[in-house]
Chains A and B, each alone.
Chain A
Amino acid sequence: MLLLICPVCGAEGDETDFQYGGEAHIARPASSTPEAVSEADQYAYLHVRANPKGLHHEQWLCARGCGKWFNATRDTVTMEFKAFYKMGEKPPRTPRTRSAKP
């Protein structure tokens, strides 16, 4: 049960208060050049996604909060969220995972 913090309104909540939206920072080709989108670009935009073992930049919706979409950087191995940042922003630099000794 992941814990998230919305960077727009500051609400902290269980993942059930939010909605996952897949990989972030994917440009929609038709939005910029609607008349010149190659098949390959359209296909990649629709169907090809990164599947990293490690840092993943992804979109989330503050569904039970302010209703705004935002971005997050999550480590897909440790499930740790490294950063929450607003829509339209670039992912901030994040430190390596430090593991804690009990």
Chain B
Amino acid sequence: MSEAEWLNALAHRTVELSGLVLAIEERFDVGMIDLRILPDDTESLAAAQRVLGIALPGEARTSTAGDGFTCLWFSVDQWLVTCDRTRTQEFTKSLSKALEGHFASVTDVSDMRAVIRLTGDAGRQVLMKCMSIDILSKEIRPGYVRRVNFGEIAGALRMVSNEPDCFELYVFRSYASYALDWLEEAARESAAIGKPFGPSPAPPV
């Protein structure tokens, strides 16, 4: 019997980057764990912290990074822990064990979402065509996480780093192809909107 083959969400697509102002690629080495703990359950939160070595972010729309993983705030009682795919089982096991007997939930959801990484200076301008949040705001810095409407679907946005700006978009797996279609349309060079709120040639009078 052949070796079991694991396919990423966009395995059936080639991302054609020419003519785009942004580098778009799927990250399929990402493991994801859905973690639920009530916000006032200090014991369970402490148990999770002992496993992860860092506190889960308590502030909305933030993320914290630890050794080999990142915790994304998804709700007052929900986090998405991302890690290298090869370590998902390890983290799922250790979190489940630490929270045994507690009212908490640990679910491996690594296959549920596709992760699309967008890199380039034009990142924010492209995202202005994808979501209605104030993407140009200074509040959006590396570590920022926000669940959004992406085009017409549910998604989550994370700012990974800057210089150049690097964002990750999380969408449910079945919508990955649609999300890529939307991004390819929005990121066309011929449709670039330039930097809003920045110096530009003065219009005639």
The interface of chain A, by Cβ under 8 A from chain B, is: 8-11, 13-14, 16-17, 63-68
Contacts and interface: CB of A to CB of B under 8 A. Distances in A.
A8 B76 contact: yes
Given A63-B154, A66-B147, 10 more contacts: A9-B60, A9-B75, A13-B133, A16-B132, A17-B132, A64-B147, A64-B148, A65-B147, A66-B76, A67-B75
B147 A68 contact: no
A55 B78 CA distance: 33
B167 interface: no
Contacts of B154: 63-64
A68 B76 contact: yes
B204 to A, nearest CB: 30
Interface residues of B, number: 13
A66 B74 contact: yes
Contacts, number: 35
A9 B78 CA distance: 12
A12 to B, nearest CB: 9
Nearest to A66: B75
Interface string B171-194: 000000000000000000000000
Q: Chain B contact residues: over half helix, strand or loop, or mixed?
A: strand
Nearest to B148: A64
Interface in B87-120: none
B76 A9 contact: yes
9 contacts: A9-B76, A11-B61, A16-B132, A16-B149, A17-B132, A66-B60, A66-B147, A67-B74, A68-B75
Contacts of A66: 60, 74-76, 78, 147
A10 B60 contact: yes
B132 A14 contact: yes
Contacts of B146: 11
Nearest to B149: A64
Given A16-B132, A67-B75, A11 B149 contact: no
Contacts of B133: 13
A8 B148 CA distance: 16
A13 B60 CA distance: 14
A41 B164 CA distance: 61
Contacts of A64: 147-149, 154
Nearest to A1: B132
Interface string B22-66: 000000000000000000000000000000000000001100000
A63 B146 CA distance: 12
A14 to B, nearest CB: 5
A11 B76 contact: no
A84 to B, nearest CB: 14
